[in-house]
Structure 1
């Protein structure tokens, strides 16, 4: 009797699993869980950026003070100056996750946001093209964002970006006004990251497209105008108000700072870049199959590609957004050009095996995160140098490397400069870079003006070599990543 009962229960479970396997959501869930798990296992790779440290510190400051700062609370050089913390909500999420789970926290939320982003993208693509093709496009999208896959606010905004664009495109496809719940997405996006301005621009472009192509300009205007007004209103509902809306324009005007920060430079095509691979695949497909696309969508994609080629930090925009804009037109043409693929019929055993492997991978990632992640990226964590300087009596203002500013803030030490170039402005950044690059006159002036008492820099930096030769300064630590100096009385 027990054998019969066990057989019935097992058969029932297998039957239920087979029923699930016929549902699209089942495979999407396995895809999302697997991607989350893989990103969790490479969690250390998500922590290589110095800005992650000050973002976490800012989030903890907001949680501790129950307020969003309007002036700089961290540096000594600009302490009390006006600051626009336009990513405050993402910083709260990063800070809270670090407080609860250590370094596993920021890795978890970043991996989760990325998995949700690509799963939503895949779900949208499956409306128009076969699963194999949809998966290939999603893989290309992942390649474009891989270099910018960091535990920072922009990654937390990716899911909202894709949800926003997908629903706008669906509204255009159906000839309807966008849902009035979408401004709620904009509200969250505007408090997470400054890329929300792209969302407003995309909504405006699609509204213009509706006005020009639907054949009923007045009706299109009446449908889209209230939505655009609500979108802009939602973008203003942040602690920064109008300053938050104007912030991207402020940053784009900082020509000197943008020219020296690596992620704001154009991609270096002397090396193979993900955006280059993406463009190659897209051009090959368009030319080989002869896709015909609406002029408005081509122009929108040109805009995305321009941003990706002008600034390395925008490489993911074509990968995430161009498929959403183009697939309603490309999908039917691709289906007509390629015979629909034969859908494989998986045996119950194969379904069980795939499901078990995905769940084992997911449970393993949870155990891995629960064990904790060690942040050992010494390039942005000059622990030994700072500890040695503190032990030797370092106190007061510090002359620090730009890349070490995040660690100093995270450690409760006020830096001269850090990754918030928007706070410091072009003039100060230019002075700092002159001193860092070996201009002895400017370095001496900064030391005198800010009463610098110690320094922590990369050993290879020109500024460290200058300080090493200054009278009254002594070296207290040096390793392959950082050197520390203290100024005598």
Structure 2
């Protein structure tokens, strides 16, 4: 059988010059060639369609945001935990990273995400981790765009809504397993919307999705809540002003109930059994110090640009509702209000507001945005633009040196190098945000980003007591036998230690400062007063 004479360009333009579909009177070989050409043309029309091009633009926007690789401190402990799991082939049950909680019970509730990060870091280093962040961010935005388009039935409106919310979404993009949780939440919403539109088989993706989700991130509890809200919203049928609810058919209700129960049954299927299921509740009800002091658990800062944009969107929804009196489905109103409330209470839940509000915004915009017309599509132009996006990402992807420079500006890279070179030993008291990088470098830490275990053993409250220089802070520090302190250069404790005769500053740069206790074995050959080139003592 000869090759089809249809070229790629002809396939791209075939939307305007359709190939013949009738093959009954053609010889068998020619008919097969014609059918293959049609399949190729349909495939290329989908890949290089206008909606696909808009998705590529979202990927480009994510790349622009993620190119700088704003490293979240927790990426270091997640990657280290993944390395431990892969090397030992066991899941940790006690804390391996600190001297304050060492040996205490601890489970890695996000182990599946951790073993994703570890090989990437090993094989591709910082560039691999940055690429993974961009891939996960792109997957989230493309899924959000697909969900908004599915709801609004208009790809242009879905794109505009997703692009507007990207400003809020990107602020929360950091390389942590929570990225997987956000992606799974949007996939759950897509599945439920497809089910509402009559595609019942979509529901059976939920149980395996939750099986993966519960092992990747604690946000699975929110996903189960979303499924329950959809189920409960279809138990009654009513219309009250602009609010309506439609009753499920008996068959639909049974299908959704079964999918929910199977998803619930997947929750205990973890290396730790049902222990992981308790983690979200422990954080919510048993960790008041962590929730009250960790920045991502703080309330929405309405004085900052992101908070102002969030408030502006809420007010815009209210104004549009008053003017146009949109009809809300019961479940979408419930989720929108829940997402708004949680984002106001805790900054980290801003990404709940985004998927719950984007489809509503897209539906509103669809009233004015002209729908996509396939007959007017320009496939070759779309392909050229998508190729340009791809080339741009490859061309401007940050070098290893650029990423290392960014890491050194936010983490005590040179201070840790000094510690290795001069055999500085612990116990080491460290600034909260330095803990994860310190443990990544194989030091036992006082505290790191796993605030839950430190709160449980009392180390978190002691850290705050010392960090805030409460009366008796030095006594608490001494009770841990601390012989070295790695601190931010300008924090109050660093200023106090610099004035005490019992401590000597052996290293300092623009970011960090290292003190060791005088007349101790904290360092075998540390030289007092050493500073990085070009820095002041």
TM-score range normalised by the length of the shorter chain: 0.7 to 0.9
* Corresponding residue to 2:412 among 374, 382, 396: 382
- What residue is the counterpart of 1:445 in the other structure? 476
Q: Sort the Cα spacing of 1:161 and 1:375 in 2 relative to 1 into closer, same or farther, 3 A.
A: farther
* Corresponding residue to 1:100 among 118, 123, 130: 123
- What residue is the counterpart of 1:190 in the other structure? 214
Matched, 1:238 2:273: no
Matched, 1:471 2:501: yes
1: CA distance, partners of 2:355 / 2:449: 26
How large is the RMSD of aligned CA atoms in angstroms?
3.0
Q: Sort the Cα spacing of 1:432 and 1:340 in 2 relative to 1 into closer, same or farther, 3 A.
A: same
- Local SS of the residue matching 2:289: helix
2: CA distance, partners of 1:10 / 1:180: 37
Matched, 1:249 2:281: yes
Q: Sort the Cα spacing of 1:115 and 1:183 in 2 relative to 1 into closer, same or farther, 3 A.
A: same
2: CA distance, partners of 1:227 / 1:480: 55
Q: Sort the Cα spacing of 1:295 and 1:92 in 2 relative to 1 into closer, same or farther, 3 A.
A: same
- What residue is the counterpart of 2:81 in the other structure? 58
* Corresponding residue to 1:15 among 13, 16, 19: 13
- What residue is the counterpart of 2:527 in the other structure? none
* Corresponding residue to 2:376 among 332, 337, 345: 345
Matches for 1:218-237 after TM superposition, within 5 Å: 222-237=254-269
Q: Sort the Cα spacing of 1:385 and 1:363 in 2 relative to 1 into closer, same or farther, 3 A.
A: closer
- What residue is the counterpart of 1:174 in the other structure? 198
- What residue is the counterpart of 1:49 in the other structure? 72
1: CA distance, partners of 2:405 / 2:271: 32
2: CA distance, partners of 1:141 / 1:176: 29
- Local SS of the residue matching 2:187: helix
Matched, 1:271 2:304: yes
Q: Sort the Cα spacing of 1:74 and 1:339 in 2 relative to 1 into closer, same or farther, 3 A.
A: closer
Shift of 1:368: 5.0
Q: Sort the Cα spacing of 1:157 and 1:375 in 2 relative to 1 into closer, same or farther, 3 A.
A: farther
Q: Sort the Cα spacing of 1:271 and 1:43 in 2 relative to 1 into closer, same or farther, 3 A.
A: closer
* Corresponding residue to 2:111 among 62, 67, 88: 88
* Corresponding residue to 2:437 among 390, 407, 418: 407
Q: Sort the Cα spacing of 1:155 and 1:68 in 2 relative to 1 into closer, same or farther, 3 A.
A: same
- Local SS of the residue matching 2:160: helix
Matches for 1:67-86 after TM superposition, within 5 Å: 67-86=90-109
TM-score when normalising by structure 1? 0.88
- Local SS of the residue matching 1:476: strand
Shift of 1:351: 3.7
Q: Deviation string for 1:282-340 (max 9, x for gaps)? A: 3343333221113343122111111111111111212123345x48xx84x765x4474
Decide which moves more: 192-201 or 18-27.
18-27
C-alpha contact (below 8 Å) 1:236/1:242 kept by paired residues: yes
C-alpha contact (below 8 Å) 1:386/1:484 kept by paired residues: no
Matched, 1:205 2:229: yes
Q: Deviation string for 1:13-59 (max 9, x for gaps)? A: 65369756753774454444454455445545333321111111111
1: CA distance, partners of 2:413 / 2:102: 24
Gaps of 5+ in 1: 1-6
Shift of 1:353: 3.6
Q: Sort the Cα spacing of 1:415 and 1:296 in 2 relative to 1 into closer, same or farther, 3 A.
A: same
2: CA distance, partners of 1:187 / 1:143: 31
Bigger Rg, which one: 2
C-alpha contact (below 8 Å) 1:388/1:476 kept by paired residues: no
- Local SS of the residue matching 1:300: helix
The structure richer in helix per residue is 1
1: CA distance, partners of 2:394 / 2:423: 47
* Corresponding residue to 1:143 among 145, 167, 179: 167
C-alpha contact (below 8 Å) 1:473/1:486 kept by paired residues: yes
1: CA distance, partners of 2:369 / 2:101: 63
Decide which moves more: 254-263 or 171-180.
171-180
- What residue is the counterpart of 2:243 in the other structure? none
- Local SS of the residue matching 1:82: coil
TM-score when normalising by structure 2? 0.80
Q: Sort the Cα spacing of 1:270 and 1:241 in 2 relative to 1 into closer, same or farther, 3 A.
A: same
1: CA distance, partners of 2:514 / 2:440: 18
- What residue is the counterpart of 1:260 in the other structure? 293
Shift of 1:346: 5.3
- What residue is the counterpart of 1:298 in the other structure? 333
C-alpha contact (below 8 Å) 1:394/1:453 kept by paired residues: no
Q: Sort the Cα spacing of 1:70 and 1:267 in 2 relative to 1 into closer, same or farther, 3 A.
A: same
Q: Sort the Cα spacing of 1:144 and 1:394 in 2 relative to 1 into closer, same or farther, 3 A.
A: same
- What residue is the counterpart of 1:357 in the other structure? 388
